[in-house]
A and B are shown apart, each in its own frame.
Chain A
Amino acid sequence: MKFTRRDALKGLGGIPLMGAVWWAGAASSVAKKKERSAILEQLNIQPSLPSAVPGIGGEPIRVGIIGFGIRGEQLCRALGFATEEWKEEMRLAAQEDPKHTALSDFESQDKLNVHLAGICDIFDYRANKALKSFNTPDNKMERFRTHQEMIRSGKVDAVVIATPDHWHAPMAIDALENDIHVYVEKPMTHNVSETYRLRDVAMNSKAVLQVGHQHRQTLSFQTAKDIIHKGTIGHVSLIQTNTNRNDDNGAWMYEIHPDASPQTIDWDMFLGSAPKIPFNKNHFFRWRKWWAYGSGLSGDLLSHDYDRLNCVLNMGIPNSVMTSGGIYTHRDGRNVPDVLQVNMEYPNFSTGSSQPKGKEKGMTFVYSATLGNGFSRPTILMGHDGTLELGNQLTIWPDGRSTRYADMIESGKMNPDVPIYQYNPGASTPDGVASATSQYFADKGLMWTYINGARVDSTFLHLREWLSTSRNGGKVSCGVKEGFEEAISSHMAGLSYKLGRRIEWDPEQGKLKDIEGIDFDEALLAPM
């Protein structure tokens, strides 16, 4: 047996080729990895872990629900109580689309030590719906005609307020004065003077107040805090937040229930402090469309975006606010605007600077909204050294003219078009989101967060924190300080729209700067 030189060349010729390809692939991967870890090491961003909440020991906390509409039902589910109708609907949805996980998510949610003891809804159908599903041998539930009756019954320790906006503060104040814990939906209040009053009452009450900005539990927002704190994107001079919706549900055209009538709805109770008008189903079910009961884009949706950023930056109340807008997409008799642009000025705020001292200071927060287009404009924080896109995911791009990253950009290790950091806690979990409005909230990190890769309803975490603090003491994420800042900032935006002028905050006095001849509450709630 003899191998010629030709045999050796042709037989073993593939080996050097294999070596070359292997080496090239490995070298390129390893070099990329090294560059990446050098950048990450320099950024040193710590993805947050959920804060531990002490359990709710002892007897179950007795919770009363005030308002069992769309949000009231969602809050009950977050507390562990879903109606039979909803379960059936979700079961069918899951059958149709296996990615629809609402029911299995609900079933796998941790159980809270809660007794849903009372329901208060002025629409008989809704109150009965709650009783039908929740009044069981394990969970005795009682209907109360009014919230005053429920608060004074001695049968509830805590109330969840999910009513139209004009009832938030009166109910919260009444409960806190009776030392009943309060979870109130946003916006915390409906006008300026009750915002001051609720702050004073909450500070003097033994009970715990939590405002329903559940995104404070979202892990990506807690990680964003670390990013800003470490100066990763430098001095932030502009923030852009947006509402982009283009569907009837998103424009608050909710369904009108066929059972609604003056016999089944306590109309006087609904009106409360609002102007007395005859029974009107449109107003009852679509109350967000009128200043008398709702707060328009400024209180309804800006409040979310404002608090998302206040939670990351802790920037507080703006020195001044200018707003413009109009009713351009839904001219259906509503009196709240459906297109709104809000500019909030923070001339003294800074997130830190990589440039000479004193060069950078001040920031504008822009909120831009339309209910006539659904193109997803992301939330963007624009800093001298980089740009942060904030949502359920985080992405950071370096800026081409950054001082901090100048060397790395010049040497080609960073590229302004390529993100230097991406945080996607749910990367391996495909999401099933039902409607356009849900997708809108989900993208903003307002619906759920991810813990160890599993999807968790952030409202559940927010309620759990409130209940745990009620029982064990401690501090809630969105207490009266945060709620006060959110409410005042939203009202400043609404007032500026109404009055067509700049509204200013006086930080020394802790109140809005007066404008001669203007009653702020009257101006804010006026039909137009």
Chain B
Amino acid sequence: MVLLRLFIGWHFLYEGIIKLYNPDWTSFGYLASAQGPFRSFFIWMTGDSIIGVADWGNMIALVFVGLTLLLGIFEKWGAIVAALLLALYYLAHPSFPWVAQVNVEGSYWFVNKNLIELVACLVIYQIPTSHYFGLQRLFHKKETLSQAN
């Protein structure tokens, strides 16, 4: 479980950092090519006034998830944010057989990597491990100790 949490944190943090250090990065292409039932919502996000907010929001959320899962602190919050982000990614390019697959690698039928990572995040939410490995361990111990005293 710890390994799963660390790997997902690793993945999110790296994605976030790559975007953070690349001023030219934008989610415009990904959103503009969105398919499926929520297409119009994602197209709306490409509007001039929205796209900047969407880009920054995505970047901050990615880094936040990465830090919480890697460091092992507020991991439940991290897992929820990660699941929400992944749900958005999934809905932007859903692997439904009747929807054109644009901007995706691999072959999928309903279930794709985003969905699997999403489920993994739900598991992390259900089975927190930061009290075992992570900053939370120190606080956790402090709490147990103060309770014992």
Contact = CB atoms under 8 A, between A and B. Distances in A.
Contacts of A333: none
A427 B138 CA distance: 49
Interface string B125-145: 000000011111110011001
A101 to B, nearest CB: 13
Given A22-B17, A29-B20, 15 more contacts: A1-B146, A7-B141, A11-B72, A13-B134, A14-B70, A14-B71, A18-B13, A21-B10, A21-B17, A25-B14, A25-B18, A25-B21, A29-B22, A428-B28, A430-B43
**By DSSP majority rule, is chain B's interface helix, strand, loop, or mixed?**
helix
B66 interface: yes
The 9 closest A-B pairs by CB, nearest first: A25-B17, A29-B21, A11-B137, A11-B138, A14-B71, A1-B145, A18-B70, A14-B70, A21-B13
B71 A18 contact: yes
A3 B6 CA distance: 23
A11 B17 contact: no
B28 to A, nearest CB: 6
Contacts, number: 81
A30 to B, nearest CB: 6
Q: Place the interface of chain A in its size category.
A: 20 to 34
A52 interface: no
B6 A14 contact: yes
Given A21-B17, A21-B70, A33-B22, A428 B137 contact: no
B48 A25 contact: no
A28 B18 contact: yes
A21 B7 CA distance: 11
Contacts of A24: 14, 17
A33 B18 CA distance: 11
Interface string B1-42: 000001001100110111011100010100010000000000
Contacts of B72: 11, 14
Contacts of A11: 72, 133-138, 141
Contacts of A32: 22
17 contacts: A1-B141, A1-B142, A1-B145, A10-B132, A11-B133, A11-B136, A12-B138, A14-B70, A14-B72, A14-B134, A18-B66, A18-B67, A29-B20, A32-B22, A427-B28, A428-B26, A428-B51
A274 interface: no
A33 B23 CA distance: 9
Contacts of A15: 71
A29 B17 CA distance: 8
A17 interface: yes
Contacts of A408: none
Contacts of A3: 138, 141
